[in-house]
Amino acid sequence: MMHNGPGEQLEELDRDACLRLLGTRGVGRVAVVVDGFPIVLPVNYRVLHGDGGIDVVMRTRPGNHLDSSARAGFEVDGIDPVHRQGWSVLVRGELVHLHPDQVAAYGAAADPGPWLDDRDSWLVLRAVDLSGRLLHTRNVEWQLTLRAYL
């Protein structure tokens, strides 16, 4: 556990905690390098894990930056700005295209349900690394704000 400022702790999360937190969201950010510079894009996703490892399934528009990338990072987080605490999980791995017959093998539960139309290119980020961190206060203080009553 690392200490940052007075009363703050940064805790490394174990694999089980990372997997549990990954499953609590439906939108994350995927990062790839295009023309030598990183870009980060929001995506709808599903997490599948089994004996073969962790797969982050997403759908995108054919021909966009994600569709032509091979390595990527994927991040999802939860933030509590009032209490100045939160968590973050990072998955790094290889982006792989799924062919239509492979999509059928994953089943309907794997469909991330994109919010936009024409997201017909299915991608899977096959994890090679999974890590997470939790920032929390050691001494939780009650903070009253007007926002709590609105």
Q: What is the pLDDT of residue 3?
A: 47
Place of tokens 């017959």: 101
Place of tokens 């569709």: 67
Q: What is the pLDDT of residue 46?
A: 87
Fold of the CATH domain 12-133: Pnp Oxidase; Chain A (2.30.110)
Q: What is the pLDDT of residue 57?
A: 87
Three-state secondary structure string covering 103-125:
HHHHCHHHCCCCCCCCCCEEEEE
- Which whole number is the average pLDDT over 73-84? 91
More confident residue, 50 or 101: 101
Domain limits, the chain: 12-133
**Whole-number mean pLDDT of the chain?**
80
pLDDT digits (tens, 9 = 90+) for 51-61: 678 989 888 77
In the predicted structure, residue 77 carries a pLDDT above the cut 90: yes
- Which whole number is the average pLDDT over 111-139? 78
pLDDT digits (tens, 9 = 90+) for 85-123: 899 999 999 998 877 676 666 666 666 666 556 666 778
The rounded distance, in Å, linking the Cα atoms of 43 and 28 is 6
pLDDT interval class at 37 (50, 70, 90): very high
Percent of the chain, pLDDT > 70? Answer: 67
